[in-house]
Amino acid sequence: MEFIKIPRHTFVTLLSIAYDYNPHIKDSLSSAKELMQTDGAVWYVNHAHTAGYGVKSDGDLIAVWSTVKGQGKQIVESAVINGAVKLDCFDGFLVDFYSDNGFSVVNRVSNWDGAGFPDVVYMQR
């Protein structure tokens, strides 16, 4: 699966459509408004517009999304090729997923939203 660079505003538009398609995407990512304020990132989407991600100038992988199950490995492979070396995610299945794709846990902090919410896990390659 090939990913292409796109402008931030186009990425946010496609992500907003994905939010409508799958509410879990909206629940697990920064808001479109926050992403519009993220400077220094390069944004990528696949040709079918069913998956995307961003890589900040410091190698931080952000805003990973997919509307089709099973695209995760290809997303991470593309992100690594495009400079992703670290990320943060909520504790749960994503930690195992990113571990299986070459990332290791380097830190874990309690979720700032309070008790009952999953920890935030920081990972790097």
Q: What is the pLDDT of residue 77?
A: 97
For the chain, domain boundaries: 1-83, 85-125
Stretch 106-120: mean pLDDT = 85
Report CA 48 to chain centroid distance, whole Å: 17
Stretch 53-81: mean pLDDT = 95
Stretch 46-72: mean pLDDT = 95
CA angle 83, 90, 48 (to 5 degrees): 55
Q: Residue 33: is its pLDDT beyond 90? A: no
Q: Residue 30: is its pLDDT beyond 80? A: no
Stretch 72-89: mean pLDDT = 97
* DSSP symbols for 21-59: H-HHHHHHS--HHHHHT-TTEEEEEETTSSEEEEEETTS
Determine the 3-state secondary structure of 124 from DSSP.
Answer: strand
